[in-house]
Structure 1
Amino acid sequence: MLDRKFPVLGTSVPPMLGRELIMGRMLAALTKANPDHLQMVGPRYSGKTVILHELARRLKSANNTPYTAVLLWDLGHQTPATDELFMQRLAGELSVALLDKHADYAEHLKKPRDNAYQDVAEVLDAIKEEGGKVLAILDGFDKPLSNGRLTRNLWDQLRELALKPSLRLVTASRRTLRDLIRNPESQTSDFWGIFDPSPVRVGCFGENDLAALLAQVPQLHLTGGAQTELWNASNGYPVMMLEALNCLCEEVSEGTVTPEVMKSSCGSAYPRLRDKIDSLWRDCSPQCQDLLFRVMEEGAVLRTGSIGADAEILVDRGFVRLTGNKVQGVSRLLERYLEEQPNENSALLRMFGDVGSYNNNLKGALEHRLGQIEDLDGVLKKYLQQGLGDFPEHPGVFLSSVHGILEQALTLIWKAECWDSKKNRAWIRGEWFSLWQRNEERVPEEWKTRFPEGGQRLRLLDLMTGTQKSDRLARFVTKNTYVLANALQGFRDFGVHPKSAEVDLGTSYAALHLCIELASLLAREVSETN
């Protein structure tokens, strides 16, 4: 394997080049008299991990650092699945970080105990008394948030720890923390409010960053035109720019680099970048992709109204540039990737012509379907958007969230059909019992004093929407809603108690489609009543 001048991915974290503006902001925020808690946000391959490792290195080695311990925890691997495991792992990571200057506390945290949270809290209090401070850098914070199994209790505990003067947190994720929270109950935790409201955004390199890169190859002189070719190919997105420079170093040992040579090196980099560009492209929603095609057709699109968020996503990935208020300058490397895709005349064949294409592209079709739904309940929308993000790589993670989707759907139904606003709870009307009794419907007697729970709620919905014996009593929801909700109950049980470690992708797609259509029905049937 070639010894690359600019390492891209690999088994070890490469040194940081450039990024001094980002580093300066983070150091200033973390070393001031009352340091901030920070969240770093950026797409995959943008270099978040590189920056975090350099941050940890500088704060560990600085003579005047306020931190007596710095831990860097990669949550993207061996991600804790429960509150208890998370806190135990945090105690273990903290123990390692404390070895150098707080050996006694490190030893204390090594010993497993029943209440890891209490142990961590006691150690942080002791460190405060000694005038110390801990910086906890949590990389890959998307992973623990994506499983939906960590509860508000954990986030509240982390908030209590983070409020101590002896602890500061830095998280890194692909989206903001609030966008990633899967559990609606967890959204109510005050933990999310402790962070600086302006995330540290990591995206494309700037002019100063390119200068730092070129300083590593002083034997090469890129003309202004050559640098323009590099920008046009990559828009400064780190993985693209670095790979293009690697190819340049392999093709040219020294001297002046002309635009033609730089353009050739960018072309040589494409085969190495294709899979990465494909991943970045698939991370974009259909709406983002449609915007990019508009930019390709029109040359430039004004960044106004609802396209602002989509434009930001494309800019962050280096797919386009933002010049003033115009979205323009599609990356030539992305253009080459798109040129490889079959033309629109064979779109169906391209998207669904084989099993692999079907599995990869059905997500986009369902994203479009979700985008068509008007007046969608906010909680259901968040669940479904996060669920779409689980496909096609993590279908099992989505199935675990079907429980929350069904619970929210039923809550909307009860509030529309049978809600006692004075007692703030659902109830079954007395006249319904009388009618069902006359029609010889099977109705549990305990429903008269206690609202049904679990699967019995689906039986109630069945009765409300009409059976062979009884007419429909519901004012808003229809039998369509019951059929979809009843079908989801099976998926809900499977997601909570899977019998197999292998979750079939097609099965999860079927559940997702059911969830979207149920949400669409409810948006039409009950949206105005809640």
Structure 2
Amino acid sequence: MPERRFPILGTTVPPMLGRAAILQKMTGALTKATPDHLQVVGPRFAGKTVILHELAARLRQAGSTYSAVLVWDLGHQTPETDALFMQRLARELSAALKASHPDYADHLRNTQDNHYQDIAEVLNALKDESAKVLAIMDGFDKPLSNGQLTRNLWDQLRELAHKSSLRLVTASRRTLRDLIRHPDAQTSDFWNIFEPNPVRVGCFDENDLTAVLATMPEQQLAAGAQTELWNASNGFPVLMLGVLNAVCEMGTTGAVSPEAMKAACDSAFPAVRDELDALWIDCPPCCQDLIRRVLDEGSVARTGIAAADAETLIERGFVHAAANKLQSPSRLLGRYLEEQPNEGSALVRLFGTADAFQKNLRGVLERRLGQLNGIDSALKRYLERGTEDLPDHPEVFLSNVRGIANQAFELIWKGEVPDKRIPSEWMAIWKRNEGDWVNQWETTFPDGGQRLRLLDLMTGGGISAPCAKRVTRGTYFLINAVHAFGNFGQHLKGVPIDAGAAYAVLHLCVELAAALAREVPDR
């Protein structure tokens, strides 16, 4: 295959094109008297990694504020425990400090036990020398998505980041607070250290396009050709660069007419189709419905539309915002959607093959989740993250099912026994009908699997009548199943997980949430 003018995806990070304003903003924030900690946020394929590598290259130059700069790709070989995270951080810092501070690098490389303490010692020594390290952590979504990293880790990172010798830059598809899974981790002050306005990476602007076109002087785009380029891509990098690759592959030099640009847009579609597919799947159903509405109506006023939904479409280049309206849907997206099944399509097109079933069932469960009113916010967060894990990462979803079960139990106790003291009249009945084994609950509220035994009795599972005023027998059976899968999800090492089975568990979890929203709604 011929080499493409603008590399888009591959094993190496391509050079940065445009983005001067974003890079200037980040450099300024990191080199001022008291540098900020930054979070970079943008959809996949927007070019976050490219910007981070260019930032690192510039801040590694002689005379920089930073004596060492590291870029840590957390999206691959993601640490799954607190200890592994600190171990990897020590290793990354060691490699970055090798040239400027070899003694500190050796100390971190040879650390065995308390990686956090050793990192803190090195940062204190750097502080005494008025030296700084910049730690750029790309793919920060991954360690947050597994839900296994605890508040203790985030609190330790906060303590390290409070030292003047360390500054952090994270990159993720959503803000860090939106990505946190574990309710306990949400309470860490680590999330408060970052500049509150994230660096947003989305579509190219006019200045970015000018910089891109300067790299292909043999072709000059007529005004109408530029308009067609914007119409096709709305400036989203992989789409715009894909079309420009097609222009270059035409082999013609000189002026590029609007007609030639239209032809390039058409020929670029197969090359960018997979990226469009991934971007579309990343959109929640409410955003997918909104873009279909824009396609049908031509433009839609932003009044009454959730700001997050509008931004989801704008940052992907699916639509353009002007005069408080969403309009100009991307022509490449329009062509992609023409090929897709929609609500009026036959079921066979949506679920006729195993691949189609796994791809489209996620949307069904997302819509079901969107129907639930009165759902607890923490439980909803777990379920939203779960839908994002499927069908590609069923093991990640299952590892978080225990958190769903635990939160469900807390909601049940809040609705039935808010002080976690079993009423004496219940205990009297159970002692008489079920046996003396219930005596243990008089002094210790049930935990672990004992919670199921309590809920079983509360909902009439023994020979006694139900005592629960709100929670039903059906909810007991739902949480019983979810609890079992939660235990299974903690012991998955080496166990193959089928996406279809994971979907079944997710559906159980969603219906458990629906039952709790009816019986013990969040008030």
Structure 1 vs Structure 2 CA RMSD: 1.3
Question: For residue 292 of structure 1, what is the amino acid of its counterpart?
Answer: I
The residue that corresponds to 1:318 in the other structure is 317
* Distance (whole Å) between structure 1 residues aligned to residue 497 and residue 435 of structure 2: 37
Assess, with a 3 A threshold, how the Cα gap between structure 1 residues 441 and 321 changes in structure 2: closer, same or farther.
Answer: farther
Deviates more, 1:6-15 or 1:498-507: 498-507
Assess, with a 3 A threshold, how the Cα gap between structure 1 residues 105 and 343 changes in structure 2: closer, same or farther.
Answer: closer
The residue that corresponds to 1:295 in the other structure is 294
Alignment pair present for 1:40 and 2:40:
yes
**Which secondary structure does the structure 1 equivalent of 2:345 belong to?**
helix
Question: For residue 230 of structure 2, what is the amino acid of its counterpart?
Answer: W
Question: For residue 423 of structure 2, what is the amino acid of its counterpart?
Answer: R
CA positional deviation for 1:252:
3.3
Question: For residue 489 of structure 2, what is the amino acid of its counterpart?
Answer: G
Alignment pair present for 1:222 and 2:216:
no
* Distance (whole Å) between structure 2 residues aligned to residue 248 and residue 499 of structure 1: 48
The residue that corresponds to 2:176 in the other structure is 177
* Distance (whole Å) between structure 2 residues aligned to residue 60 and residue 345 of structure 1: 55
Deviates more, 1:106-115 or 1:281-290: 106-115
The residue that corresponds to 2:55 in the other structure is 55
Contact 1:441 1:469 in 2 (8 A): no
**Which secondary structure does the structure 1 equivalent of 2:489 belong to?**
helix
Question: For residue 472 of structure 1, what is the amino acid of its counterpart?
Answer: P
The residue that corresponds to 1:18 in the other structure is 18
The residue that corresponds to 1:6 in the other structure is 6
Equivalent positions of 1:500-511 (< 5 A) are 500-511=494-505
* Distance (whole Å) between structure 1 residues aligned to residue 461 and residue 308 of structure 2: 46
Alignment pair present for 1:488 and 2:487:
no
Equivalent positions of 1:178-193 (< 5 A) are 178-193=177-192
Contact 1:436 1:443 in 2 (8 A): no
Contact 2:319 2:326 in 1 (8 A): yes
* Distance (whole Å) between structure 2 residues aligned to residue 437 and residue 146 of structure 1: 44
**Which secondary structure does the structure 2 equivalent of 1:419 belong to?**
coil
**Which secondary structure does the structure 2 equivalent of 1:346 belong to?**
coil
Cα offsets for 1:366-416 (capped at 9, x unmatched): 111111111111110111111111111111111111111111110111122
Deviates more, 1:306-315 or 1:119-128: 306-315
CA positional deviation for 1:440:
3.6
Assess, with a 3 A threshold, how the Cα gap between structure 1 residues 482 and 199 changes in structure 2: closer, same or farther.
Answer: same
Contact 1:71 1:97 in 2 (8 A): yes
Using the size of structure 2 for normalisation, the TM-score is 0.98
* Distance (whole Å) between structure 2 residues aligned to residue 318 and residue 495 of structure 1: 37
* Distance (whole Å) between structure 2 residues aligned to residue 338 and residue 300 of structure 1: 17
* Distance (whole Å) between structure 1 residues aligned to residue 376 and residue 436 of structure 2: 33
The residue that corresponds to 2:469 in the other structure is 475
Assess, with a 3 A threshold, how the Cα gap between structure 1 residues 344 and 192 changes in structure 2: closer, same or farther.
Answer: closer
The residue that corresponds to 1:145 in the other structure is 144
**Which secondary structure does the structure 2 equivalent of 1:136 belong to?**
strand
Question: For residue 107 of structure 1, what is the amino acid of its counterpart?
Answer: D
CA positional deviation for 1:342:
4.2
CA positional deviation for 1:468:
5.5
Cα offsets for 1:468-523 (capped at 9, x unmatched): 62211111111111010111121111101237421111111111111111111111
CA positional deviation for 1:169:
0.3
Contact 2:431 2:439 in 1 (8 A): no
The residue that corresponds to 2:196 in the other structure is 197
- Of 498, 505, 518 in structure 1, the residue corresponding to residue 512 of structure 2 is 518
* Distance (whole Å) between structure 1 residues aligned to residue 161 and residue 493 of structure 2: 38
* Distance (whole Å) between structure 1 residues aligned to residue 461 and residue 104 of structure 2: 66
Question: For residue 385 of structure 1, what is the amino acid of its counterpart?
Answer: E
Q: How many residues align?
A: 523
* Distance (whole Å) between structure 2 residues aligned to residue 321 and residue 137 of structure 1: 31
Identity rate of aligned residues, in percent?
63
* Distance (whole Å) between structure 2 residues aligned to residue 345 and residue 140 of structure 1: 37
CA positional deviation for 1:70:
0.4
The residue that corresponds to 1:123 in the other structure is 122
Deviates more, 1:46-55 or 1:480-489: 480-489
The residue that corresponds to 1:31 in the other structure is 31
CA positional deviation for 1:344:
4.8
Runs of 5+ consecutive residues of structure 1 not aligned to the other structure: 421-425
The residue that corresponds to 1:436 in the other structure is 430
CA positional deviation for 1:343:
6.0
Equivalent positions of 1:254-403 (< 5 A) are 254-342=253-341, 344-403=343-402
The residue that corresponds to 1:423 in the other structure is none
* Distance (whole Å) between structure 2 residues aligned to residue 138 and residue 521 of structure 1: 40
**Which secondary structure does the structure 2 equivalent of 1:138 belong to?**
strand
* Distance (whole Å) between structure 2 residues aligned to residue 301 and residue 479 of structure 1: 46
**Which secondary structure does the structure 1 equivalent of 2:273 belong to?**
helix
CA positional deviation for 1:443:
4.0
Contact 1:162 1:169 in 2 (8 A): yes
Question: For residue 444 of structure 2, what is the amino acid of its counterpart?
Answer: R
CA positional deviation for 1:131:
1.3
Question: For residue 8 of structure 1, what is the amino acid of its counterpart?
Answer: I
Assess, with a 3 A threshold, how the Cα gap between structure 1 residues 368 and 109 changes in structure 2: closer, same or farther.
Answer: same
Runs of 5+ consecutive residues of structure 2 not aligned to the other structure: none
* Distance (whole Å) between structure 1 residues aligned to residue 60 and residue 143 of structure 2: 26
Contact 2:430 2:438 in 1 (8 A): no
Question: For residue 361 of structure 1, what is the amino acid of its counterpart?
Answer: N
Deviates more, 1:340-349 or 1:355-364: 340-349
Cα offsets for 1:238-282 (capped at 9, x unmatched): 001111111101103311000000110111110011111001000
Deviates more, 1:23-32 or 1:305-314: 305-314
CA positional deviation for 1:447:
1.5
CA positional deviation for 1:347:
3.7
CA positional deviation for 1:64:
3.4
* Distance (whole Å) between structure 1 residues aligned to residue 462 and residue 190 of structure 2: 51
* Distance (whole Å) between structure 1 residues aligned to residue 187 and residue 126 of structure 2: 30
* Distance (whole Å) between structure 2 residues aligned to residue 290 and residue 175 of structure 1: 20
The residue that corresponds to 2:112 in the other structure is 113
Assess, with a 3 A threshold, how the Cα gap between structure 1 residues 499 and 200 changes in structure 2: closer, same or farther.
Answer: closer
**Which secondary structure does the structure 2 equivalent of 1:231 belong to?**
helix
* Distance (whole Å) between structure 1 residues aligned to residue 371 and residue 439 of structure 2: 42
* Distance (whole Å) between structure 2 residues aligned to residue 414 and residue 109 of structure 1: 47
Question: For residue 10 of structure 2, what is the amino acid of its counterpart?
Answer: G
Assess, with a 3 A threshold, how the Cα gap between structure 1 residues 52 and 499 changes in structure 2: closer, same or farther.
Answer: closer
* Distance (whole Å) between structure 1 residues aligned to residue 3 and residue 162 of structure 2: 46
